Structure formats: C-alpha cells, structure tokens
Amino acid sequence: MTSVLPRPLATGDRRPTPRRYLLCRPDHFAVHYAINPWMRPDLPVDRARALAQWERLAALYRELGHRFDLLDPLPGLPDMVYAANGATVVGGTVLGARFRHPERAGEAAAHRAWFRGAGFARVVEPEFVNEGEGDLLVAGDVVLAGSGFRTDPRAHAEAARVLGRPVVSLELVDPRFYHLDTTLAVLDDATVAWYPDAFSPASREVLRHRYPDAVVARAADAAVLGLNAVSDGRHVVLPAAATGLAAALAERGFVPVPVDLSELLLGGGGPKCCTLEVHP
Ligand code: ARG
C-alpha cells in the first residue's frame, strides 16, 4: 500500500550532543506535604524503589555518554531529588532559584553553593520567584519561560537580563502541569513536544507559531507526565508509560528511551524534573 504520509526521517539523521547534568540522589525522598496535585501525603512512598529507579536514570545517562555531577541531598528537603528546580545555567552563568513554597526554600542555597564550589564565577540570587529549569527551558537561542503556578512572571525579565537570552513567556493553566517542563519538552534547538491544553489560548498561539513542526502530545501521554522528558537531540529519555508519545517521537526520527520513575511521580516529577542541565 502506498502511503501519502511524509516519510519519517531515518533515525541516523538526528545527532546527539554530549550533555552535562546535575542530579541529586533521592536519599531523603518522601511525600510529606502536597504542593502540587500529584502529591498525596496519605499514600505510602517506597524510598528504596525510588532510589533504584533513580539509579537506572543515572545509568542511562552514563550509557548515553553524558556527564553528570551529584548534588548532596539534605535531610528535611524531600523534593531535592527534583534537581531541575534549583537553578538555570547557561554559558557559565547560574541564575539561582527562589522557591514559591517554604517547604523547598532551602534547596536554593544548596544549589548556589554547589555551583560556586564547582567554579562557576557568576552565581546570581534572584529577586523574584523562579523554580529553575522547571519553568525556564533553554531552547536554542531563547529561553521558554512558564508562569501561572510557580515562577513569578516578573522573573521572566529577570532571567532575560541575567542569562542574556531573549525569553518567551508562556502561561500555564492546568494545575496538573504546574511547571513548564511537565508539559513541554525541548527536543533540540528547533523542535519541542508539548501539550496545548496546558497553556492559555494566547500561549498556544505563540507556540504554534514558533514551532509549526512540534510533536503535539495527546492527553493520555500528558497525563502520565510523558512530556517531562530529557533530549540530547537524538535520544529522548521519557516516562515509560508515555507509549503514544514514544511512538510519535520515533516517527520523527528520535530514539525514545523509556524509564520507569513511577515512585518519583508520587512527588509530581519525572526524568526532566530530576535533571538540571548545565547548558554550555
Ligand atoms: N514535588 C515537587 C514540587 O511540587 C516536584 C517538582 C518537579 N519538578 C519539576 N521540574 N517539574 O515542587
């Protein structure tokens, strides 16, 4: 049968680039409070299982040839495993985080100290609330910036000034997708995957215009945080339950790398939440 659909790209066409990440072991992971709709303090959490799943994620990054450093987990900060929220790093500049909820406030200083210790000369403590790479996604030459639940819209201009990159502001409207990285994944400098219903109508238009070739996720994949994915330009590490999204990515020439982080989903996070990318 002849197909009228465009031929999918050969998988060899997508080029990975080696990445640098900062991760934090879930040694103290727990769900003791609820600051997003995924968190249910009344349900049990299996920390040993969370650790095993996290170890697999770290092993995958190693297998894919990426470098990562480890931030020491601190007792009393059960969400610290979601390292993406602690800072935004581009070209040697570190824009520190300022958390919306007091429960996570202590994480920001730990991140700033780590980056100073690692030799980053410019580590900036922000004025406005921003939850790091949960809401500030580096996409090629721009930063896609979410607001609506966590990051203060005024932090967008602050990020543009500190990071020296234009910022594209996007408004989130569905509390399940409280950080931009829960509903939009940067696949490479020119492509994203996203779930339109999580955005205000105006932001949907901005994204449609900017990324006409984007991978548009279905509700079922968004609902398992499938878009909380980490791409190196070829391999896309994503939640294993997001099978529809994995197929759509494969059709577009990406190589989906499913990972089971079901225990960390109890805190409202997936692979990307656990991964702070140190952008060159
Ligand atoms: N429990 C954490 C919170 O609600 C999860 C953070 C997930 N991180 C992310 N980058 N989306 O803050």
Q: What is the pLDDT of residues 12-31, one digit of tens each?
A: 689 999 999 999 999 999 99
Q: What pLDDT sits at residue 13?
A: 81
- Domain spans of the chain? 20-279
Q: What pLDDT sits at residue 77?
A: 98
Q: What pLDDT sits at residue 225?
A: 98
Q: Between residues 12 and 160, which one has the greater pLDDT?
A: 160
pLDDT at 57 over 60: yes
Ligand 1 contacts CB of residue 78 (under 6 A): no
pLDDT at 9 over 70: no
Average pLDDT value for residue range 182-209:
98
Q: What pLDDT sits at residue 10?
A: 54
Q: What atom of ligand 1 comes closest to residue 35's alpha carbon?
A: 4
Rounded (to 5) percent helix, strand, coil in the chain:
30, 25, 45
Q: What pLDDT sits at residue 2?
A: 43
1: confidence class by pLDDT, cuts 50, 70, 90: very low
pLDDT at 252 over 70: yes
Q: What pLDDT sits at residue 3?
A: 45
Average pLDDT value for residue range 25-49:
98
Q: Could you tell me which of 10, 19, 11, 24 has the C-alpha nearest to residue 273?
A: 24
Candidate from 36, 99, 129 with most ligand 1 atoms within 8 A of CB, to mutate: 36
Phi-psi region of 24 (alpha: psi -120 to 50; beta: other; left: phi over 0): beta
Q: What pLDDT sits at residue 12?
A: 62
Average pLDDT value for residue range 55-61:
98
pLDDT at 275 over 80: yes
pLDDT at 49 over 90: yes
C-alpha distances in Å from residue 56, one per residue of 181, 224, 257: 21, 19, 12
pLDDT at 171 over 80: yes
CATH of the domain spanning 20-279, picked from 3.75.10.10, 3.30.450.20, 3.40.640.10, 3.30.70.270: 3.75.10.10
Tell me which residues are annotated as active site. Answer: 179, 273
Ligand 1 contacts CB of residue 134 (under 6 A): yes
For ligand 1, atom 8, name the residue with the nearest CA: 273
Rounded CA Rg of the chain:
18
Distance (angstroms) between ligand 1 centre and the Cα of 246 equals 22
Candidate from 28, 81, 85 with most ligand 1 atoms within 8 A of CB, to mutate: 85
Average pLDDT value for residue range 242-258:
97
pLDDT at 7 over 80: no
C-alpha distances in Å from residue 10, one per residue of 105, 115, 234: 45, 39, 11
Are 245 and 226 in contact by the 8 Å Cβ rule? The answer is yes
